Structure 1
Amino acid sequence: MSRMADFGNDLYTGKRSIDFVGKAKTWYAISAVIMLIALAGFGVRGLNLGLEFEGGSEFRVSTTQTSGDYQQEATDAVREVAGPAASANVTLIGGNQVRVQTEKLPETEMNDVGSQLAQTFGVQASDVTQNTIGASWGASVSKQALRALVVFLVITAALMAVYYRNWKMSLAAMVALAHDMLITVGIYTWSGFEVSPATVIGFLTVLGYSLYDTVVVFDKVRENTSDAFETRRQTFAESANLAVNQTLVRSINTTVIAVLPIIAVLAIGFARVGPGTLLDLSLALFVGMVVGAFSSVYIATPLLVHLRRSDADVVELDKVASRHHERVGDRTPATVGAPAAGASDAPSSPLRSSSGTTPARGDGAEARVTPSPDADAEQTVTGRAVHRYAQSGPRNQPRRTPRSKR
């Protein structure tokens, strides 16, 4: 645990750094491949839309016990009435209820299917409930969800542009949201998970979580870049990368804490409860939160740096910071402490040795040896370093090393 704390502290102080911004092309390539696979899923398999979106008939059989072949038994019961070409989606809910979904059946066939299911599972006809859902209801839900999504994106983009006073930050956040949504839905296409109204609610919730995580990172980016514009010691990319490192541990902790209860719900849902609203919602949240945490760290900030690299103020900052790095880089350890031009190897003062220590006194007493903090700095006869403002006399007079009055 202490190692994790030390690792997070090193990231925050800059002692250790992960180059998220510098390796932006790598993250872009990884995301592009994943998004292409997600898009291919729409053409190859498509979404497994639930009964609420496609319409159809649903039967629920309340039974105290089920055999291992309950799915085949329910399918055979449906085909005995609707014909051998009929298909049925059979799932077990809560261990004591069998749900059978079919295409939309006429009322007479629905009654016959209900009776056949009751006979197959050995229950009363009253223990079998039946319901018909039209496709118009699903179309209405889809239309309202799409409208809510558009309104959400427009308002969010406008608020972020006003809050950060920079539309490019808003654009980077919107691209990250689109990235999260595409990958999340793509996972649903390839996995075959059913898309229900609860799943759509989960998708919208994922957008809010992803945006929240991105805003936290962007707040730190704005703080660091503002300091960089004042001090002129870091480039825009360096200050933004430092912000991502400083918020990395926080993003990981937040995601883990948010995902842990969802994992518990998923485990209970798959093991005991079965398909339902709770499972659909938690599954969408789990997939979306993991993808959202990835985009907040690896996509949003590198994209922001890429969008702002041609801004006049950023270009000027990078030039000044680069010159500062060159000046600092010229002060290599080999030049520190080297004698000045024309100086001999002899000590600069009879009372100061070349090693920067005070020699022993002539009376034989043991001298106090004081190491020099800086070999380039002037020192008094006692071995103390002279302040840099005291190394030059007034009005550019020759430097004079203070001497001891003893």
Structure 2
Amino acid sequence: MRYKWSFDVVKHRKKYFTFSIVVTILGILSLAIFGLNRGVDFKSGTTLDITAAGQAIDQAKAADLIGKAGLQAATIVVGGDNNDRVTARFEQVLSPDQVKSIEESFKAVYGDNVSKEENTVDTELAAELATKATWAVLIASVFIAAYVAIRFEWRFAVAGIVSLLHDAFIVISLFSIFRWEVNLPFVAAVLTIIGYSINDTIVIFDRIRENMRFAKKKTFDDLAKIVNDSVWQTMTRSINTVVTVLIAAVFLFIMGSPAIRMFSLAIIIGLASGMYSSIFIASPLWLVLKHKWPGKSAGKKAAA
């Protein structure tokens, strides 16, 4: 099924480009001023998961028990099926004696069934994880660009890489602006977003290339018609794919554990941004590049 209604995607391309540039600038300013709210994975510290075996734990009570051990947690989150698990993150690395003191404070109130799980990251490991996460995103982007260049052409590769970096940066910028925590699941979410973004983009690119084989392509308007037709011919597929994954991500965000909530939020933002960029950024950008550098077989260019 194809949508019987449509609008000219190409006609308003400058508005889409301007909007994305403004958001990018705001993101750069936020990152420069505030940086990212790095979680314990990228910042030295200790995270304790304490479970009280079916007994509900009150957040205020948990903070009080930690305070009795002479410590103060940066964040305290209560979760679990019966609110019987508390996750406390400390910005300093706790000693074994400090961890034992916290555990004993909880056992004194909730009994000997209290169990704990400790996750500690030192300064060197945190820096190494942050560096490797950055390289993972960059290397994935380079290989994707190389694949698209070989599979299609360099104009598609440039448009595709701009689109996926746009999506990744949108997610990173929003996490910086709203001070949401960034951890290893967040990096997994960004890599997932890159995959979904380029997948949607390639579907449209493939339809553009197919339509280019049979359509008249002598002027800018001819190319613009090809892009518009290709976008709307693949619109149903794009919407169905994104909505299907979006439903799952929304339910994970609402009903999932606190440990994957930020992962789900990043996926939700990235899916929306990915669909936007595939349609309104990547395809019009390819058109601009094709018009300016048409190649030997594109025919004579005309003014836009």
- The two structures have a TM-score, normalised by structure 1, of 0.66
CA distance in 2, matches of 1:137, 1:254: 38
Question: Residues 252, 99 of structure 1: CA spacing in aligned structure 2 closer, same or farther, 3 A cutoff?
Answer: same
The correspondence for 2:142, drawn from 133, 136, 154, is 154
Deviations 1:259-293 (A, max 9, x none): 11222222211xxxx311x4343332222111101
1:264 aligns with 2:251: yes
Question: Residues 309, 233 of structure 1: CA spacing in aligned structure 2 closer, same or farther, 3 A cutoff?
Answer: closer
CA distance in 1, matches of 2:293, 2:76: 58
CA distance in 2, matches of 1:230, 1:131: 59
- Structure 1 gap ranges (5+): 11-15, 323-406
Bigger radius of gyration, 1 or 2?
1
Aligned to 2:77: 91
CA distance in 2, matches of 1:74, 1:43: 35
Indicate conservation of the 8 Å contact 2:55/2:110, yes or no: no
1:132 aligns with 2:116: no
Deviations 1:183-236 (A, max 9, x none): 011121233332221121111011011000000001111122232347989611
1:77 is displaced (CA, Å) by 2.9
Question: Residues 260, 79 of structure 1: CA spacing in aligned structure 2 closer, same or farther, 3 A cutoff?
Answer: same
The correspondence for 1:61, drawn from 50, 58, 68, is 50
Indicate conservation of the 8 Å contact 1:52/1:135, yes or no: no
Aligned to 1:316: 300
Indicate conservation of the 8 Å contact 1:75/1:88, yes or no: no
1:305 is displaced (CA, Å) by 1.1
Indicate conservation of the 8 Å contact 1:240/1:305, yes or no: yes
CA distance in 2, matches of 1:293, 1:88: 36
Q: Provide the identity percentage.
A: 26
Partner SS state of residue 66, structure 1: coil
Partner SS state of residue 53, structure 1: coil
Question: Residues 88, 183 of structure 1: CA spacing in aligned structure 2 closer, same or farther, 3 A cutoff?
Answer: same
Question: Residues 24, 223 of structure 1: CA spacing in aligned structure 2 closer, same or farther, 3 A cutoff?
Answer: same
Q: Which aligned pairs between 1:219-234 and structure 2 lie closer than 5 A?
A: 219-229=206-216
Q: Which aligned pairs between 1:264-303 and structure 2 lie closer than 5 A?
A: 264-269=251-256, 274-276=257-259, 278-303=260-285
CA distance in 2, matches of 1:133, 1:232: 59
Q: Which aligned pairs between 1:323-334 and structure 2 lie closer than 5 A?
A: none
Question: Residues 139, 20 of structure 1: CA spacing in aligned structure 2 closer, same or farther, 3 A cutoff?
Answer: same
Partner SS state of residue 11, structure 2: coil
Question: Residues 130, 245 of structure 1: CA spacing in aligned structure 2 closer, same or farther, 3 A cutoff?
Answer: closer
Indicate conservation of the 8 Å contact 1:235/1:318, yes or no: no
CA distance in 2, matches of 1:281, 1:293: 18
Q: Which aligned pairs between 1:170-209 and structure 2 lie closer than 5 A?
A: 170-209=157-196
CA distance in 2, matches of 1:256, 1:145: 28
The correspondence for 1:118, drawn from 85, 107, 119, is 107
Deviations 1:298-356 (A, max 9, x none): 0001111111222355461648xx9xxxxxxxxxxxxxxxxxxxxxxxxxxxxxxxxxx
Aligned to 1:334: none
Question: Residues 58, 117 of structure 1: CA spacing in aligned structure 2 closer, same or farther, 3 A cutoff?
Answer: farther
CA distance in 2, matches of 1:32, 1:230: 29
Letter in 2 for 1:90: I
* Aligned-CA RMSD value: 2.6
1:90 is displaced (CA, Å) by 0.6
**With CA pairs under 8 Å and 6+ residues apart, which has the higher RCO, 1 or 2?**
2
Letter in 1 for 2:43: E
Question: Residues 134, 238 of structure 1: CA spacing in aligned structure 2 closer, same or farther, 3 A cutoff?
Answer: same
1:92 is displaced (CA, Å) by 1.4
1:23 is displaced (CA, Å) by 0.7
1:244 aligns with 2:221: no
Deviations 1:140-184 (A, max 9, x none): 3333333332322222212211211x2111001000011101101
Aligned to 1:384: none
Number of aligned residue pairs: 298
1:21 aligns with 2:4: no
Question: Residues 300, 230 of structure 1: CA spacing in aligned structure 2 closer, same or farther, 3 A cutoff?
Answer: closer
The correspondence for 1:78, drawn from 66, 74, 92, is 66
Letter in 2 for 1:51: V
Letter in 2 for 1:65: Q
Question: Residues 125, 253 of structure 1: CA spacing in aligned structure 2 closer, same or farther, 3 A cutoff?
Answer: closer
Question: Residues 287, 168 of structure 1: CA spacing in aligned structure 2 closer, same or farther, 3 A cutoff?
Answer: same
